[in-house]
Chains A and B, each alone.
Chain A
């Protein structure tokens, strides 16, 4: 099968041009996750050329490449690194160059790290990726990077590495402690510190794109009893939004999380549902564009993974020129994505 370009042509214009201080909301559901779209955002912001075979970062004086901070609450560094590699993005290298920073909201968010004097935990990385030596790993052109197997076992690893190479790419691990806005402020401070580091790195481009993957989880897992509600979360997002050029967020838009509360009879809805609906819908009101992912209503199809609907959000800084569209997409086995209109293929 012909290989798909890393950026589907139909999406290029949506991914690349966001007005200043705009907010893009990506909504996903259980059966149609947003990771592939986030990866396309990363690619669109970080890659230097459109030809997928060009080694990324070869040209040091490139233009247009933005800086990206990715905050992920549900997926670890290993996932993002491996999946970006399939697209030809070497995130570890980019973070060395201070062009990219990963903020880990998964590993130690609610469980503080084991006591420091304990033996370093066995290397979490899978040895399928050879340890990075002084020369950054760069696959030969034409190799499908995503095929790098993750097979070998940690038995191969020597446990003496104090800080495994995999963790080098992680700029910060978030810890949640305390309650209410104080806890959120601490997280915000950590993230802003990373953003400022990235900004401080000498480079002419000051545009930082902030991607927060599923901040709604933070809301669900803390909730009202910890003094955090939709308003507090929205303010948290706004605080971060003010420090960067553009922001993209992913939230879950599953029916139980949105409609139980948004429907007229909101008596039965639980606080998790109510807060989530208020947060997600509130974000859509603020967003300049909303990208909604869902599965086909007619059931699964062999060559369609889901539907992507692109709409204008309610935000004042809205992209008025945005062309609203509904497209189908198909994730192929090698991770590449085909995007097409209904009735096309």
Chain B
């Protein structure tokens, strides 16, 4: 890839992720986070909340699986034993924009896991996922001030779904994928590195956790994975649909939260391709025609090269013999450097 191209991509795509994570300009009304046990979305959600706090965005957590209100979260709405309509009502009520507060305040609504809702048996069969999600982004109450709401929905990919009642309907997961304006799939950095290392050697990529299909293994993630060193962080695979209709696909790296302070403003996300562990800088890029370095001097001086070309190999003459029986003689002229002992050696 040409370096120019890369730097262009870098500026563009870093700007994009920064916009998305900072919820600027409602770049993405509906963000879908696809996570798994191997890399839960928790750190990314915490990053969302951190950034929201920095820019004074109101954060509501719709808790399908969280029990305790996380730090930085302004409101938490428990969904236990509530119908979708009740949930929407409570979420809307959780934030009352003050009319005189000048510019309308933005708000972030996080659904910590959508799976329970999708596989619930108590939910009305006429439950309509698109309108449920839509109700968060554009509240039906017209009296309310127009507040820019962004919705971040987590979907656990490894939780099996259930066959829909109507076999002709698309699965809820496909619907979510279709509706989302950006989709972030989370990967563990150490796993990505292990898979890349295997790919570079043309080996089958290793699998982790549930995919190992080992009896008794739910999680394969361990801090110290063999051979990856201290590869911390989360890999974000972003698929973003622009308003123009164009799609963007990029891989990013989010460093662990311990690497920066909570008030850090500058962008911390980098491109995965810029990571030194993922893409080690190649030496050969600078000096392609240099010989490999060694303690042995393998090169030749000009004089040595000339001498080498002048050497006549022993069988050279024998190849054009003058007659029968003539070919095959070894023509060798003794040089002074030959250590020839008259008494011992005979030609």
Contacts and interface: CB of A to CB of B under 8 A. Distances in A.
A292 B219 contact: yes
Given A238-B80, A266-B160, A274-B160, A27 B216 contact: yes
A254 B216 contact: yes
B218 A234 contact: no
Nearest to A278: B159
B68 A262 contact: no
Interface in A264-300: 266, 269, 274, 277-278, 280-282, 284-286, 290, 292-295, 297
A231 B65 contact: no
A309 interface: yes
Given A285-B113, A292-B217, A292-B219, A317 B70 contact: yes
A274 B219 contact: no
Interface stretch (B37-45, B125-133, B232-240, B336-344): B37-45
B223 interface: yes
A21 B67 CA distance: 7
Contacts of B121: 180, 224, 227-229, 231-232
A20 B117 CA distance: 26
A159 interface: no
Contact of A282 (B68, B156, B215): B156
A149 interface: no
Given A27-B218, A309-B219, A314 B67 contact: no
A58 B67 CA distance: 36
| Size class of the contact patch on chain A | 35 or more
Contact of A238 (B67, B117, B214): B67
B222 A309 contact: yes
Contacts of B70: 316-317
A109 interface: no
A230 B160 CA distance: 10
Contacts of A253: 215-218
| A contact face: mostly helix, strand, loop, or mixed | mixed
A210 interface: no
A326 interface: yes
Interface in A205-240: 224, 227-232, 234-235, 238-239
A324 B119 contact: no
A276 to B, nearest CB: 10
A318 interface: yes
A4 B159 CA distance: 40
Contacts of A284: 37, 218-219
Contacts of A258: 210, 218
A56 interface: no
A263 interface: yes
Interface string B86-124: 000000000000000000000000001101110111100
B184 to A, nearest CB: 15
A281 B68 contact: no
B260 interface: no
A324 B159 CA distance: 23
A315 B117 CA distance: 18
Contact of B81 (A235, A259, A262, A324): A235
A64 to B, nearest CB: 22
B146 interface: no
Interface string A235-259: 1001101100000000001110011
Given A242-B67, A284-B37, A28 B216 contact: yes
B78 to A, nearest CB: 8
Given A231-B116, A254-B216, A318 B42 contact: yes
Which of B41, B67, B158 has the most A CB atoms < 10 Å from its CB? B67
Nearest to B223: A324
A20 B68 contact: yes
A317 B67 contact: yes
Given A231-B120, A259-B213, A281 B156 contact: yes
A261 interface: yes
Contact of A315 (B66, B218, B222): B66
Contacts of B35: 314
Contact of A311 (B66, B81, B219): B219
B214 A297 contact: yes
B120 A232 contact: yes
A231 B65 CA distance: 10
B296 interface: no
B80 A314 contact: no
B84 to A, nearest CB: 13
A55 interface: no
Contact of B156 (A29, A285, A325): A285
A45 B174 CA distance: 46
A234 B80 CA distance: 9
A311 B68 contact: no
A235 B219 contact: no
Given A231-B116, A253-B218, A286-B65, A277 B160 contact: yes
B210 A234 contact: no
A254 B223 CA distance: 24
A323 interface: yes
Contact of A281 (B45, B112, B158, B221): B158
Nearest to A236: B80
Contacts of A42: none
Nearest to B68: A21
A32 interface: yes
Nearest to A282: B159
A247 B267 CA distance: 38
Nearest to B113: A285
B162 interface: yes
Interface in B281-340: none
Contact of B65 (A20, A228, A282, A312): A282
5 contacts: A20-B68, A230-B116, A266-B160, A284-B37, A314-B42
Given A21-B68, A281-B159, 7 more contacts: A255-B215, A263-B213, A285-B37, A292-B217, A314-B35, A324-B221, A324-B223
